[in-house]
Amino acid sequence: MDTATAAASVPEADARREAIRVEDLHKSFGNLEVLKGVSLTARQGDVVAIIGGSGSGKSTMLRCINFLETPSSGRIVIGGEEVAMRGDGSPANQKQIERIRTKLAMVFQQFNLWTHRTLLENVIEVPVHVLKVPKSDAVARARQLLERVGLGGKEETYPAYLSGGQQQRAAIARALAVDPSAMLFDEPTSALDPELVGEVLTVIRDLAAEGRTMLLVTHEMKFAREVANHVVYLYQGRIEEQGPPAEVFGNPQSDRLKQFLSSVA
Amino acid sequence: MTGLKELMQPHRIAMMLVFAALVIWCAVSLRWDWIPQYAPLALEGLWATIWILAVSTFLGFLLAVPLGLAQAVGPWYLSIPARTFCTIIRGTPLLLQIWLLYYGLGSLFPQFPWIRSSELWPYLRQAWPYAVLALTLSYAGYEGEVMRGAFSGVAKGQLEAAKSFGMPRFTMFRRIWLPQAVRNVLPTLGGETILQLKATPLVATITVVEIYAVSSRVRADTFIVYEPLLLLALVYMAIAGVIALVFRRLERG
């Protein structure tokens, strides 16, 4: 009886399309090996939280997925399509990597909204100038998205006039505007004042609830436990432990993870 | 209202009266009777000054963008020539550059029959192409250096965001990098354009008739020294004022 349900549930889990697969990813900066062979699969609808101490390689891993960092070796497969790599790890086909990047929207720690454009212009920039969506459509959609992240009425404001929390929510709207197949969050709340963290987490929580595929590098353990369905703990460039949040947080196996969790709690 | 009130301070009123007296004195007791005779020439000269300034700053800026880019992020075989060019232009007097081009290059050309018989010869035998070329290269040299700093100064995250959304490199350059770089150095470019204006009289030395050359002509013809120079100063101040206004508008927009 038990084996039957287990067997039945496995193909069901596998039936969801694979969104991001990372295989044996290595990355060195000079002599310093930051990633020492990381493998990870995220299926559609997965929310994968990546946790770990500073210098554990979590941001580097995320940035290797869309080739903002050039991996030293390994394979990156996005939506079933493997990114062609040269011997040095750089993308071999500029057109391919640009096309793949348009499906992976990134949200940065420092927001990185374009400072010379208003919020609305920030949100329509990629749809209009990269994806070639008609401008009126892009504007209508951008207004909806800004409304959705609680920034209705701020369309004509420049990023510099907004709080960090507002900027990060606008950055999330910008990411949603490209209709991404997966979203990469690189410590989205680490640069925020404590009282502004909540508003950004609320937006991310909503996105997780609607079944968006997300990779989330975060220091917010409570939040990771709440929204993620898979948690990866990185230690010195390797995956030390991973699993469902209840297990990783509730019943950590390795001493390092126990130590880490007690240090951030 | 407050502006007017502030203006009406006793010391300010005194200064304004002194200035008004000076203007009236200039108008009444100096000689201006030469103006009607030289007005058409002066207009021609003014036009020459303006178009030479406009063309040389425009073309110079177009050159400065690749010069700055090459120095900021280019491979060595682009950055070294660009840096060398900027160093030479910035390290030598503009007057020397103008003379080298006009008396040097300009006197070499006639020795080649195929140049003399070419379509370009009617232009190459005149002085203004050398003037425009020299001023263009000069502006490019100075602004190439300015743009180097401007391109390097754009925050890395701004470009990374563009890259992360799959923006092609040229789109990123056109939509994000260049506008941010230019915006950051607009005040500098405004100042440099005014300097460029004040460099234009040098082209009078190679027979280009611009506004400074006209004032010299008046002096040579009539032996009136002071009045044309005063008027000339006013004209340059007016043009500089317009340039400053244009750049202030650009900075805001």
* B251 Cβ under 8 Å from any chain A Cβ: no
Contact (CB<8Å) A101/B157: no
Number of residue pairs across A and B with CB atoms under 8 Å?
A: 61
Strand order in the sheet with A81-82: A32-43, A18-29, A73-78, A81-82
* A101 Cβ under 8 Å from any chain B Cβ: yes
CA dist., res. A37 & res. B20, Å (int):
81
Contact (CB<8Å) B161/A113: yes
CB B130, CB B101: distance < 8 Å? yes
Torsion of CA A236, A238, A244, A246, to 10 degrees: -30
Amino acid at A195: E
* ipTM for the assembly: 0.89
Residue B166: closest CA among chain A residues belongs to which residue?
Answer: A98
* B168 Cβ under 8 Å from any chain A Cβ: yes
From the list A110, A116, A126, which residue is nearest B165 (CB)?
A126
- pLDDT in tens for each of the 253 residues of chain B? 567 777 788 888 999 999 999 989 988 888 899 999 999 999 999 999 999 999 999 999 999 999 999 999 999 999 999 999 999 999 999 999 999 999 998 888 888 888 888 888 888 889 999 999 999 999 999 999 999 999 999 999 999 999 999 999 999 999 999 999 999 999 999 999 999 999 999 999 999 999 999 999 999 999 999 999 999 999 999 999 999 999 999 988 7
**DSSP alpha helices (H): ranges in chain B?**
2-7, 10-29, 35-73, 76-91, 94-99, 106-108, 113-116, 121-124, 128-153, 156-164, 169-172, 178-199, 211-222, 226-252
CA dist., res. A48 & res. A227, Å (int):
9
* B176 Cβ under 8 Å from any chain A Cβ: yes
Contact (CB<8Å) B157/A110: yes
**pTM attached to this predicted model:** 0.86
Chain A residues in contact with B162 (beta carbon < 8 A): 114
Torsion of CA A244, A58, A189, A46, to 10 degrees: -40
Residue A131 sits at φ, ψ, to 5 deg, of -90, -10
CA dist., res. A203 & res. A188, Å (int):
11
CB A210, CB A183: distance < 8 Å? no
A85 SS3 class = strand
CB A38, CB A69: distance < 8 Å? no
Instruction: DSSP letter for B204, please.
Output: G
Contact (CB<8Å) B157/A130: no
Residues in Cβ contact with A150 at an 8 Å cutoff, skipping those fewer than 6 apart = A169, A199, A203
